[in-house]
Amino acid sequence: MTKLAIVAALLAACSKDPAKTAGDDPKVIQGSLADPGRPSTVAAAGDPKNLPAPGVAPPATAVTKELDAMWNAPIKTLQGKDTKLADYKGKALLLVNVASKCGLTPQYTTLEALQKKYADKGFTVIGFPCNQFGGQEPGTAEDIETFCSTKYGVTFPMTEKIDVNGDGRHEIYKTLTPLADDKGHTGDIRWNFEKFVISADGSKITRFDPQVKPDDPKLIAALEAGLPK
């Protein structure tokens, strides 16, 4: 598939109202109310017990000093507190640029499931809100926090809204974007919910395109391989 075709597919997916996607269909969500014995699709997707077994991870990129600038680059949390990625060193990380109004927004459900399952094993998701793709993260920090906590029960760390492409690209993404995914893509982030798994020792990074879901067995394999030994 050409890069143009990939972008077209992402545009089609993310032009949908997230409230109308299969994972967020009000009929599905309310199904458990109409039939108390039948769990909702959303609840099932968010249950860590329902995450699949790991598959085969794509080759990771070995890194050394390439990440030095990223670890100490200043950034603020969604609540406005100063932080940096170095505060999470020693944990396996899943870095994701997120948005509240994208067709891929229901990925929050399985991102949170991963957080619940692996946090005690030395892992965390970190979300980076970004409004560069179709203007799909237009709200304030308070809007984003309220949306994520009330609609998806997000507990993992979230940063302030940043740019991941262009002249204003944050230092973290200046470091990440030269790395290739398993299809050879390097450079700009393509859309909301592109993912980078960083091993706990900081020596390996595996990049995944936006449509690779958080519960994809190959992503889970990369995550588990990156956990502290």
Mean pLDDT by 10 residues, the chain (229 residues): 53 50 36 39 80 97 91 96 96 98 97 98 98 98 97 97 98 97 95 98 96 97 97
Alpha helices in 80-197 (DSSP H): 107-118, 141-152, 171-176
Residue 59 domain flag: yes
CA angle 163, 175, 65 (to 5 degrees): 160
Alpha carbon distance 32, 35 (integer Å):
5
Residue 186 domain flag: yes
Residue 31 domain flag: no
Residue 42 domain flag: no
How far is CA 170 from its chain centroid? 17
Q: Are 7 and 26 in contact (CB under 8 A)?
A: no
Cα→Cα distances 117→46, 92, 105, 125, 151, Å: 10, 13, 20, 11, 19
CATH number at residue 131: 3.40.30.10
Element (H, E) at 208: strand 204-208
Q: How many domains does the chain have?
A: 1
Would you state the pLDDT for residue 46?
Answer: 86
Q: Which domain holds residue 207?
A: 3-17+55-226
Q: Which residues pair with 126 in a beta bridge?
A: 95
User: Does residue 14 carry a catalytic annotation?
Assistant: no
Would you state the pLDDT for residue 66?
Answer: 87
Residue 195 domain flag: yes
